[in-house]
Amino acid sequence: MATSQHAFQQSTDLPQYANFTPEHLSIDLEHVSVSQLLGRDYIFINAQGINLQLQNPAAMHSLLNDLIQHLELAEAHTVAVTVDESSTGELRFIRHDLTWYKHKVCSIESTAIIHTEQHEFMDMIWRCSTAAAFA
């Protein structure tokens, strides 16, 4: 299933997003979904819609800080994941573990999900995610 046809395009009636004003965020929420499972808040970011600028840590930290703050997620339990779909429909996940200092992201460790069991788990969590923006 194409990412553009899945969670990133679905609308939500969840109250935690009701007071969000997307004009204050530099990420287009059409490309973001959230899954709150297993004691973690997983933010899934469509890599084709948003460039997280992995080569520019300061910019990436700022984008993720803003996103997590606006979605009112618990920083200690938040994991960011980029989702990229190849032209053949294969999904690729990169997990970004965040380190915090004084309520700001200060470090990010990115890991490609390549093991089959981990990929299946991440795919399941992503498919259970809910769009962060109203359609």
Helix, strand and coil content of the chain, in percent to the nearest 5, comes to 35, 30, 35
User: How high is the pLDDT of residue 5?
Assistant: 38
Domain ranges, residue 57: 3-10+25-131
Q: Is residue 102 part of a domain?
A: yes
pLDDT one-digit tens code per residue, 19-77: 333 344 466 788 899 998 878 899 999 888 777 777 788 888 888 888 888 888 888 88
User: How high is the pLDDT of residue 20?
Assistant: 36
Q: How far apart are CA 78 and CA 76, in angstroms?
A: 6
User: How high is the pLDDT of residue 37?
Assistant: 82
* CATH code (residue 67): 3.30.70
Beta partners for residue 105, in sequence order: 100
Phi, psi of 126 (to 5 degrees): -60, -40
Q: Is residue 20 part of a domain?
A: no
User: 120 pLDDT band (50/70/90 cuts)?
Assistant: very high
Per-residue pLDDT at 124 exceeds 90: yes
For the chain, the domain total comes to 1
Q: Is residue 50 part of a domain?
A: yes
pLDDT one-digit tens code per residue, 64-117: 888 888 888 888 889 999 999 888 989 999 999 999 988 888 899 999 999 999
Q: Is residue 115 part of a domain?
A: yes
User: How high is the pLDDT of residue 42?
Assistant: 93
Q: What is the mean pLDDT of the chain?
A: 78
Q: Is residue 18 part of a domain?
A: no
